[in-house]
Amino acid sequence: MKHARKSKKRPSTAKNPEVERLRKQALVEIGQRLARPNVATTATRGAKEGSKAKSLRSNRTGPTSAATSPTAKASRRLETGEKTASHMGKNAKPSKLGALSASAQILAGSKKAMRVKEIFAAIKQRGLWTTSGKTPFATLHAAISREIKGKNSRFRKAGRGLFAATKAG
């Protein structure tokens, strides 16, 4: 006795107007993206072309070839007084703290040992560090534990699941 094969049902092919509108909108956007020249793609194409095409490209003259060279940018910066991020010094934006630095700052200001969830809540409340990870507590716990194993640690274990700042940190 042969078993009859069960046919796989396809999802309903009824056209939903909202889905169709979104599909068409996505296709238009994809077409527009494909129509735009991609800098990285043209650069790799240039590398694959023969040396004759490269030499033709390098012989170009005009404002784009000279004005964008690194030396031209540096001399323009000197003339105009324009500064880059590395030259800004005191005017540079303050960098965000990392998880460990933020934790050290929180624990240094706290008089008692704290759990990782409490530390993270304080960090988040003050806006010292943000993450898009799904397990920030685990990340923070692992980082603190890893630093405790090394010399000159800013943290110490104060009990099971409790961390405190060292006297030096």
Q: Where are the domains of the chain?
A: 17-83, 99-165
CATH fold label, 99-165: Arc Repressor Mutant, subunit A (1.10.10)
Note the pLDDT tens digit of each residue in 98-135.
899 999 999 999 989 999 999 999 999 999 988 888 99
Tokens representing residue 78 in the block: 């000197």
pLDDT for 121 equals 93
At 143, is the pLDDT very low, low, confident or very high (cuts 50, 70, 90)? very high
Comparing CA positions, the residue from 95, 134, 94, 136 lying closest to residue 119 is 136
What was the pLDDT predicted at 116?
Answer: 94
Counting Cβ atoms within 10 Å, is residue 114 exposed (0-12), middle (13-18) or buried (19+)?
Answer: buried
Percent of the chain with pLDDT over 70: 56
Is residue 92 over pLDDT 70?
no
Please give the structure tokens belonging to residue 104.
Answer: 């050290």
